[in-house]
Each structure stands twice: as structure tokens, then as C-alpha cells.
């Protein structure tokens, strides 16, 4: 399990630039990123309640999703879907709420929930929103557009860094959209 690439964007744009390293800041998110903050920074959420806690400080997407999208004919590179961290070899969607990812030497990220795919995906490439949604055998919706988290401990994260997973104590609660 490793970090494939890291990204940040100072403006509220859909895609983020790939950079050599990102600095995670406790309780805030990614230094230099538009979504850095204790309270919500996503524009649609700010309009609803600017005082709500920012449970979406860090966005992670599994690189395997990008592979799946490429095989379906989409052209999507790491950072294109707005993630801060592209991973490889970890089942992000299978993590329970409250799982903690140790990234690099120091950083810790608490997984708060799923990214809810929005219409911005279709503005990026037609049909992309549908491509990151699926249905389970029981008919429930599967959201594949990554997970969100909050920073528990400062640290630098770079491509190639190892990822370790710490599962929460007690019953595993499935991820819900945040």
C-alpha cells in the first residue's frame, strides 16, 4: 500500500496539480489547498452552513479507479478528479468510518466518509459521474469516487510513501457520504 501521487490546488477548481510533496496540517488539511480549514471549504457546503466542521480536508482516490475509468474510455490522470492523494494497493472504499491512515513518516488522516460524486464530474468528461457509481447486489448505491478525511497529525506526504491502516476499536461502521 503506497501513495502514487499527491496534489493540491489553491483555487476552487475541479482538478488539482500534481506536486512532489504536500504538507498535511492537523485539523486543517493540505497546506496551500483551497479546502484547507477547520470549517467547510467546499463552496456548495459553505453556502449551506459556513460553520459546519470540515470533514473533507483531504480527498483520497485509489489509483485502481483511474485504471478502471481508462479501460472504459475515459482519460483521467491522477489529480484530475480533485483528489489530494492518489493511492495504490489499498481498498479505500472498504475501510470503516474512523480508520486512520498513516502516510509517510508522520502524517495521520482519519477517514470520515465517502465522496459523493457530483455533476462536476460530467462537466469534466461526459458520463463520468455515472462511471463512478455502481449498484450492489442488494440494489444499494456504490460510490467509487474516493474517500474524505481529516488530518490528525502534521506530516509531509510524497509519491512512493508507504500507507499503513489502523482500524478503529469496536464495530466497523461502513462509510457514508460526507
Query: Closest Cα partner for 111 from 65, 53, 158, 166?
Result: 166
Task: Report the pLDDT value the prediction gives residue 90, as an integer from 0 to 100.
Answer: 98
pLDDT given for residue 172 in this prediction: 92
Question: Percent of the chain, pLDDT > 90?
Answer: 93
pLDDT of residue 29: 98
| Range of weakest confidence among 70-79, 116-125, 155-164 | 116-125
Q: Are 35 and 170 in contact (CB under 8 A)?
A: no
Q: Has residue 130 got a pLDDT over 90? A: yes
Q: Quick one: pLDDT at residue 106?
A: 98
Q: Which CATH superfamily is domain 2-166 in?
A: PK beta-barrel domain-like (2.40.33.20)
Note the pLDDT of residue 102.
98
Task: State pTM to two decimals.
Answer: 0.96
When pLDDT is averaged across residues 12-21 and rounded to a whole number, the result is 96
Q: What is the mean pLDDT of residues 42-55?
A: 90
The DSSP line for the chain is -EEEEEEE-SSS-SS-EEESEEEEETTTEETT-TT-SSB--SHHHHHH-TTSB-S-SEEEEEHHHHHHHHHTT----TTTTS-SEEEES--GGGPBTT-EEEETTTEEEEEEEE----THHHHHSTTHHHHTEEE-TTS-EEE-S-EEEEEEE-EEEETT-BEEEEPPSSSPPBP-B-
Q: Measure the CA–CA gap between 138 and 98, rounded to whole angstroms.
A: 25
Query: What pLDDT shows up at residue 168?
Result: 95
Provide the pLDDT for residue 45: 85
Torsion of CA 42, 108, 116, 19, to 10 degrees: 70
Task: Give yes or no for residue 46 having a pLDDT over 90.
Answer: no
Phi first, then psi: give them for residue 129, nearest 5 degrees.
Answer: -60, -45
Amino acid at each position: 500500500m503506497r501513495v502514487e501521487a499527491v496534489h493540491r490546488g489553491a483555487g476552487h477548481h475541479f482538478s488539482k496539480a500534481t506536486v512532489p510533496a504536500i504538507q498535511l496540517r492537523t485539523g486543517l488539511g493540505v497546506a496551500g489547498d483551497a479546502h484547507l480549514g477547520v470549517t467547510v471549504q467546499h463552496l456548495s457546503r459553505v453556502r449551506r452552513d459556513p460553520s459546519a466542521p470540515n470533514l473533507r480536508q483531504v480527498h483520497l482516490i485509489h489509483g485502481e479507479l483511474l485504471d478502471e475509468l481508462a479501460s472504459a474510455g475515459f482519460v483521467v490522470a491522477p489529480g484530475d478528479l480533485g483528489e489530494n492523494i492518489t493511492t495504490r494497493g489499498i481498498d479505500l472504499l472498504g475501510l470503516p468510518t474512523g480508520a486512520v491512515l498513516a502516510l509517510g513518516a508522520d502524517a495521520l488522516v482519519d477517514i470520515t466518509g465517502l465522496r459523493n460524486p457530483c455533476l462536476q464530474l460530467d462537466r469534466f468528461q461526459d458520463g463520468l459521474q455515472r462511471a463512478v457509481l455502481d449498484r450492489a447486489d442488494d440494489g444499494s448505491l456504490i460510490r467509487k469516487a474516493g474517500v474524505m478525511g481529516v488530518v490528525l497529525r502534521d506530516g509531509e506526504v510524497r509519491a512512493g510513501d508507504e500507507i499503513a491502516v489502523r482500524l478503529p476499536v469496536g464495530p466497523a461502521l461502513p462509510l457514508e457520504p460526507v
